[in-house]
Amino acid sequence: MPSLINAPLPPVRHYEAAPLTKERLEYVDLPIIDLSSFTASADPDVRTHLVAQVRSAMAEYGFFYVLNHGLSTAQTERMFDIADIPFSEVDDDEKKKYQSKLKETGTQQGYKPRQYYHIDNGIRDQIEIYALNHDVNKSGHPAVLQPLLPEIERFAYHNHVNVLYPILRLLALGLDLSEDSLVELHKWEDISESYVRYPRSDEEEEKTNNLWLKGHTDIGSLTFLYSQPIAALQIRAKDGSWKWVKHIENAIVVNAGDAIEFLSGGLYSATIHRVVQPPADQRAYTRLGLFYFLKPLSSPFLQRTAECAEAPTMAEWRKGRTKSYGNAELKASAINLGVEEEYLNGVLIKHYV
Ligand SMILES: O=C(O)CCC(=O)C(=O)O
Ligand SMILES: [Fe+2]
């Protein structure tokens, strides 16, 4: 697969990122992993240190930053420019044509329209998503994206092989497994990336207590959120308080999901995170996300045993969660205030408001 810099790139309109907030927010102090120092020939002490750093980041937060991931700031900025195109340069008719069939198929490809998820008090979301499978030919795309598909595919491949694989090796070593055991569960298969944005009205903000996306864990193993300047993402600390995730230029925020929790027998726990209204000085800007979601597919991921006969495979879990997300009937938890619950394949899923 050629590198991102080789080919002459088609011109794209620049997406202007928002300035940083001047408000003092309570940020979480997440560990920063320098991925370039994890090479096969690296000093064994450096490798051991990185393994320990990632293991403690996963145990404590399930969130960490990755720096030196192989894309320059300019290359990452261009991917944000491309991410903006499905929203700002495609009209509503064409968007409808490529609407995703979340409920029918449990897969994400195409546009998730706004108002598809229920948030709170009868208010639905304002999140628009455009999701692609890494095999960009698996579904159709708006005309304006066609010339950019090879570049999008190279970006996905880079994320998969140059960013995901070293992280999975670090995670496997941290579990005392062989170095490639988690890589083998993440073949270059049914992986998607998505582009997201979140605009909303004042009345809706009030009715949902400024909550844009309820506290949740992600479905897959890891999610890469390319850091962007609009503060809105928060993680739930062990004491139940919510802390803001700070923007770091050209960093990837790595987030642990359900699948890595299951695969690691709970040693790496899925992180509860949510999205809220940004601080006042950033509200006039459109928040654009550039995400890469990883889902292990190649093997049954929860073993069916006598004790847990209904344990789902990864594919069943992913499809079930995607279908029900934002639309399942949730019951208030009998024990925990602010927690809503649903069961899927016999597994309790919690949502945090
Ligand atoms: O918008 C963000 O920063 C995070 C979104 C998110 O948590 C998700 O799409 O699962
Ligand atoms: Fe998430």
For residue range 121-132, list pLDDT tens digits in order: 777 777 888 988
First to last CA, the chain: 43
Tokens of residue 204, six digits: 């809706």
pLDDT at 2: 45
Question: Ligand 1: which atom is nearest the Cα of residue 198?
Answer: 1
State the Cα–Cα distance between residues 95 and 109, nearest whole angstrom: 12
Taking a C-beta distance cutoff of 8 angstroms, is the pair 29, 244 a contact? no
Give the CA distances from residue 67 to residues 63, 78, 240, in Å, rounded to whole numbers and listed in that order: 13, 17, 28
Taking a C-beta distance cutoff of 8 angstroms, is the pair 165, 292 a contact? no
pLDDT band at 234; cut points 50, 70, 90: very high
41 CA distance to ligand 1 middle (Å)? 35
Is pLDDT of 162 > 60?
yes
State the Cα–Cα distance between residues 156 and 135, nearest whole angstrom: 9
Q: Where are the alpha helices (DSSP H) in 210-313?
A: 258-263
Cα dihedral 81→222→116→20 (10° resolution): -50
pLDDT at 311: 62
**Residue 328 DSSP one-character state:** S
Report pLDDT digits (tens) over 90-109: 999 999 999 887 666 666 78
Length of the chain equals 353
ipTM: 0.98
Question: Ligand 1: which atom is nearest the Cα of residue 196?
Answer: 1
List residues, by chain if needed, whose CB lies under 5 Å from ion ligand 2: 218
Tokens of residue 348, six digits: 């309790």
Is pLDDT of 308 > 60?
no
In the chain, where are the structural domains located?
A: 32-301
Residues 229-253, mean pLDDT to the nearest whole number? 95
pLDDT at 276: 93
Choose between 232 and 267: higher pLDDT: 232
pLDDT at 37: 92
**What does pLDDT average to over the chain?**
84
Taking a C-beta distance cutoff of 8 angstroms, is the pair 333, 339 a contact? yes
State the Cα–Cα distance between residues 127 and 286, nearest whole angstrom: 11
Fold of 32-301: Jelly Rolls (2.60.120)
pLDDT at 304: 42
Who's near 145: CB < 8 A, 6+ residues apart?
85, 86, 152
Residue nearest to atom 5 of ligand 1 (CA): 275
Residues 216-224, mean pLDDT to the nearest whole number? 91
217 CA distance to ligand 2 middle (Å)? 6
- Sign of the dihedral through C-alpha 277, 238, 273, 167: positive
Is pLDDT of 306 > 50?
no
Is pLDDT of 301 > 50?
no
Residue 105: how many other CB atoms lie within 10 Å: 12
pLDDT at 100: 80
Residues 69-98, mean pLDDT to the nearest whole number? 94
State the Cα–Cα distance between residues 136 and 120, nearest whole angstrom: 34
Rg (CA), the chain: 20
215 CA distance to ligand 2 middle (Å)? 8
Taking a C-beta distance cutoff of 8 angstroms, is the pair 65, 252 a contact? yes
pLDDT at 343: 77
pLDDT at 211: 81
| Ligand 1 pocket test, candidate residues 216, 228, 233, most atoms within 8 A of CB | 233
Choose between 311 and 89: higher pLDDT: 89
Is pLDDT of 61 > 70?
yes
Residues with CB under 6 A from ligand 1: 196, 213, 218, 225, 233, 273, 275, 289
pLDDT at 275: 93
Taking a C-beta distance cutoff of 8 angstroms, is the pair 222, 263 a contact? no
pLDDT at 201: 65
Strand-pair category, 63-67 with 32-34:
parallel
pLDDT band at 206; cut points 50, 70, 90: confident
Is pLDDT of 309 > 60?
no
Taking a C-beta distance cutoff of 8 angstroms, is the pair 207, 25 a contact? no
pLDDT at 274: 94
Report pLDDT digits (tens) over 20-51: 999 999 999 999 999 999 987 788 899 999 99
In one-letter notation, the amino acid at residue 26 is E
pLDDT band at 265; cut points 50, 70, 90: confident
275 CA distance to ligand 1 middle (Å)? 7
Residues 127-148, mean pLDDT to the nearest whole number? 87
Residues 82-90, mean pLDDT to the nearest whole number? 92
In one-letter notation, the amino acid at residue 21 is T
State the Cα–Cα distance between residues 14 and 11, nearest whole angstrom: 9
Residues 246-264, mean pLDDT to the nearest whole number? 93
Who's near 63: CB < 8 A, 6+ residues apart?
28, 30, 57, 235, 245, 253, 254, 255, 256, 271, 273
